[in-house]
Structure 1
């Protein structure tokens, strides 16, 4: 089965809204967000994906012009404005500062219209990575955990007040830690410490249990060619990483509905299990995510040099090896996942 790459994953309703956005129609987005309501984890995910798609057009502005009193339209304008600011900053455009200020105003406007919604605060936290020298006071607050550096901890607190353990929020903190103007080794050390700290208290069923896996994948990406040695997989099979991986498998994967899991999370867990030689467990994750796949972390850990489609080649190899190992093993029934992470 060929892998399918789509940002909506198994979210069919989101996929339909993205298709409508592609041709400049915003009503499906409006209806989707109205249906999502105050389901904050699902709303966070959907608005983020919609914002990425809508940032390249004026469809959100058209919606707001038609329905100026719609809070969801204001929230989406914040999402779109932040995405544009981040792209401009990454590309070092002259308009980057103005776009950042516009995005900040849009997020604050949305926050003032609806106190309960975490989305505007997620937008403000996303903008923290643009402040590479941490000039803004809210980006250099002292952390409650002594091992962590100063950062946007007040913004994270605001999000946790609205959506405790928000997946996006903690990944935004990782992006901030990596974007600072500090040596790469220091940034990676902070990300690893942050991931391990979060995994130490994350509740069962939380995707935050995967943060140490993301940290190691980022380390592989930063190391570049150093990862393409015969022994690059050893670090995934050794303590403490294999412990974090198995904890994520047992306490997150086995307690969630894969149809509502982030495709990125499933790919990171499948890769970590495969690299850590837990092939039967990896096969269960590959089966749960089918037919969807992600480019990462495969693009960051592959050992195929400059071969075209190297990330996909490693994904297919890992999936095949995991499936073969599962076929050789004694049959075991699939675990029941009684909870739904977005309900």
Structure 2
């Protein structure tokens, strides 16, 4: 490493440390910043450099753990699961009130496929510290999904248990709609008759009700206050377009003001391109007074 590269890494490390420290005990914002920063710097070695410099700092430990998790989810395996688990427990001991180490452990469980009982215990630790922790719900949803070794029935059971308990504007409010979008995309991926009939998923029952409520509430100014609200609004815009309700998606696109997330748009092409195509369709639908796709 050159002197210039080392200097740049030191500056980046200081910036990451400052951004995490600034969140204090705002667990929602802390989790959002940690996940975004870890994924953005996953191949830079910043996490390793930080934990080497401050091995007993809870932020350094949890950030390095999240960086390792992000790499593991991308590559399909962890370099050292035992070390990662140890770092999470150490971070939890140093800052017992922080749910983030436990959230990372749910993510580790996705790759290592720990038993349901073990994951449930970790889930209770995370949500016991922050009941509506968005990332905890999403990590658990992914662990239960058929794509990662779970099942559609397990996902439905999880959603059924939590849907009536979650406040409409909670950080984890999009978990039901997220599960529906993943189910819809799974049907499309199967091709054939399942893909042809995938749109029926939005037409009745609890999913239709969840979509209707979200469309009525989420785009309202100030309704959502959590850090990852734009990501959830992207899910809603996608779901409305998938349901053939492009015109109804227009207020959601307006609320987003051009903020695009890779998922769910990137499943069938470049995310920005797909987003802009559906945005244009929503504007045409609105002008025509229809919700057509």
Q: Which has the higher contact order (CA 8 A, sep 6+)?
A: 1
Residues matched between the structures, number: 280
How far did residue 37 of structure 1 move? 1.0
CA distance in 2, matches of 1:197, 1:297: 24
Go from structure 1 to structure 2 and tell me whether the alpha carbon gap of 1:42 and 1:219 turns closer, same or farther (over 3 Å shift).
same
Where 1:37 maps in the other structure, the secondary structure is coil
Which residue is 1:36 aligned to? 23
CA distance in 2, matches of 1:259, 1:26: 25
CA distance in 2, matches of 1:180, 1:218: 10
Tell me if the contact between 1:47 and 1:79 (Cα under 8 Å) persists in the aligned partners.
yes
Tell me if the contact between 1:271 and 1:298 (Cα under 8 Å) persists in the aligned partners.
yes
Go from structure 1 to structure 2 and tell me whether the alpha carbon gap of 1:105 and 1:87 turns closer, same or farther (over 3 Å shift).
farther
CA distance in 2, matches of 1:125, 1:51: 16
Go from structure 1 to structure 2 and tell me whether the alpha carbon gap of 1:327 and 1:87 turns closer, same or farther (over 3 Å shift).
closer
Which residue is 1:319 aligned to? 279
Go from structure 1 to structure 2 and tell me whether the alpha carbon gap of 1:276 and 1:29 turns closer, same or farther (over 3 Å shift).
same
Alignment of structure 1 residues 5-16 onto 2, 5 Å: none
How far did residue 210 of structure 1 move? 2.2
Tell me if the contact between 2:169 and 2:224 (Cα under 8 Å) persists in the aligned partners.
no
How far did residue 67 of structure 1 move? 4.0
CA distance in 2, matches of 1:112, 1:227: 52
Q: When the two structures are superposed, what TM-score results if normalisation uses the length of structure 2?
A: 0.82
Go from structure 1 to structure 2 and tell me whether the alpha carbon gap of 1:112 and 1:267 turns closer, same or farther (over 3 Å shift).
same
In the alignment, structure 1 residue 155 sits paired with structure 2 residue 122? yes
The runs of at least 4 aligned residues of structure 1 exceeding 6 Å deviation read none
CA distance in 2, matches of 1:221, 1:235: 11
Bigger Cα displacement from structure 2, 164-173 vs 208-217: 208-217
How far did residue 262 of structure 1 move? 3.8
Please give the per-residue CA displacement for 1:244-295, whole angstroms capped at 9, x wherever unaligned. Answer: 1122234444353479434431111011122334444411111111222123
CA distance in 2, matches of 1:247, 1:229: 25
How far did residue 181 of structure 1 move? 7.5
2:199 to 233, 252, 273: 233
Tell me if the contact between 1:170 and 1:208 (Cα under 8 Å) persists in the aligned partners.
yes
CA distance in 2, matches of 1:325, 1:318: 10
Taking only aligned residues, the RMSD between alpha carbons, in angstroms, comes to 3.0
Please give the per-residue CA displacement for 1:128-168, whole angstroms capped at 9, x wherever unaligned. Answer: 11233x4xxxx332xxxxxxxxx622211111121111110
CA distance in 2, matches of 1:102, 1:328: 58
In the alignment, structure 1 residue 287 sits paired with structure 2 residue 254? yes
Where 1:240 maps in the other structure, the secondary structure is helix
Go from structure 1 to structure 2 and tell me whether the alpha carbon gap of 1:258 and 1:54 turns closer, same or farther (over 3 Å shift).
same
CA distance in 1, matches of 2:28, 2:159: 20
CA distance in 2, matches of 1:87, 1:274: 28
Greater helix share, 1 or 2? 2
CA distance in 1, matches of 2:146, 2:275: 28
In the alignment, structure 1 residue 124 sits paired with structure 2 residue 105? yes
Which residue is 2:211 aligned to? 245
How far did residue 99 of structure 1 move? 1.2
Which residue is 1:198 aligned to? 162
Alignment of structure 1 residues 17-56 onto 2, 5 Å: 23-24=8-9, 25-56=12-43
CA distance in 1, matches of 2:173, 2:217: 8
Go from structure 1 to structure 2 and tell me whether the alpha carbon gap of 1:83 and 1:118 turns closer, same or farther (over 3 Å shift).
same
Go from structure 1 to structure 2 and tell me whether the alpha carbon gap of 1:227 and 1:249 turns closer, same or farther (over 3 Å shift).
farther
What are structure 1's unaligned runs of at least 5 residues? 1-19, 142-150, 303-308, 330-343
